[in-house]
Amino acid sequence: MQRSLLAVTVSALAVIATFGSLAFVWAAPHANKAAQRPEGDWRILDPVTYENISIFPVVSGSSQDTSSFLTLEEGLASGEVIVSERGAVGIVRHRGDVRPIAVPQYDTGASVNQLVLINRSKRPLLLLAGELVSGGKQDRIIGKDRIVPVSAEPLPLDVFCVEHGRWVGSSSQFSASQTIVHPSVREQAAVEQKQSEVWAAVTGGSKAKPPASSSAAPPAPAPRVSVDALADTISSEAPTQSYRKIYEGTRIGGSVDTFVDQLQRRFARATSGLKGERVVGVVVAYGGEVAWSDIFASSDLFHQYWSKLLRSYAVEALARPTLRETASLDDAREFLRRPNGREVQETEAGVYRWREITEGHLALIELDALQPKPMTLHRLLLLRTS
């Protein structure tokens, strides 16, 4: 009797152990997946609305330490970062260096879609798709988010041209522009990666399609920065189709400045007095359509890019119809839902991981730093226009 009872007990324990092991095997992938995809403790505030744009501040009660990273604007301004045409023959002397640096030629001449970058700083360099560098044979924008490590070899840097009508320059080197191109252009570089579409977005304003309307409804109001206005500006102020001269010149730039001032005052007022939370990003809607989001690992990093990002959002708003519909807080929350679709990754061991997930018209791009500790430095989510 005792032996039978013992046998039953042993059998029961074996069954429990077996099912327990199976439960661990089933649960482990979900637990690992969750650990690899932290979404942050974000909270979305009520929108800051002006004319046809609504900007939802994204705040967080925690923040990563991003002080070890250098931005492109800082690096170019200080001379710690050098960006040059590929194939340029020249010597660059960095302050504090005993010996000068030769700009590598890569055995070829200058290229529209590739420059050379040298990071001479003691901090890893953060690059964001859409950042503009000015000079060389024509102005360019960074093609993809990435991190350039300290003491890296001169880097062939993928870029897109945003000045179609120039291929000459007094210097092969580039300077900081304090500009990030507006979403329609940035999308073509970061997601579509097509030079022809980048040019089309520069001269065409917005790639977003006008909203459909019934035959009885009045047509959508024309954008303040229309195709005709852009053509006139290019003819009179920007014959080389330079992005900077088009959108920062007197004709269009004045309207953008006024628009930005209104948004900046409203945004500062809406985000003042936060207790225990800081702004780390935004969700942007045009009319009733939530279309864009930039979120950073820290409030400090967000504010380093904020003035350039705000201006880029304003340019996009002025290039879209002046619709008065507004997106809701629920719309913004739903937009931040993580897409569940095709995923592509690129990794530089010990430096960064770049990830793109696409689902329908949504595209999510995340840049993870792997050192000094793992963190998602930048998260870009957009509603594709093409």
Domain boundaries, the chain: 42-212+219-383
Residues in the chain: 386
pLDDT score recorded for residue 221:
75
- Predicted TM-score (pTM) of the model is 0.85
Residue at token pair 């792997």:
370
Please tell me whether residue 304 adopts helix, strand or coil conformation. helix
pLDDT score recorded for residue 324:
76
Predicted confidence (pLDDT) at residue 140 exceeds the cutoff of 70:
yes
Instruction: Answer yes or no: are the C-beta atoms of 256 and 315 closer than 8 Å.
Output: yes
pLDDT score recorded for residue 209:
77
pLDDT score recorded for residue 304:
97
Percent of the chain whose pLDDT exceeds 90:
72
DSSP 163: B
* pLDDT confidence band for 99 (50 / 70 / 90): very low
**Range in 73-77, 151-155, 182-186, 299-303 the model is least confident about:** 151-155
* pLDDT confidence band for 19 (50 / 70 / 90): very low
Report the distance separating Cα 254 and Cα 51, nearest Å: 17
* pLDDT confidence band for 11 (50 / 70 / 90): very low
Radius of gyration of the CA atoms of the chain, in A: 25
CB atoms within 10 A of CB 176: 20
pLDDT score recorded for residue 375:
96
Interval 48-65: pLDDT, tens: 999 999 999 999 998 899
Predicted confidence (pLDDT) at residue 33 exceeds the cutoff of 50:
no
Instruction: Answer yes or no: are the C-beta atoms of 292 and 341 closer than 8 Å.
Output: no
Interval 167-203: pLDDT, tens: 998 788 999 889 999 999 999 999 999 999 999 999 9
Report the distance separating Cα 86 and Cα 377, nearest Å: 28
Interval 267-290: pLDDT, tens: 999 999 899 999 999 999 999 999
What average pLDDT is seen over the chain? 85
- Runs of H (alpha helix) within the chain: 2-36, 72-78, 183-187, 195-204, 227-236, 243-248, 250-271, 299-318, 329-335
Average pLDDT, integer, range 236-257? 94
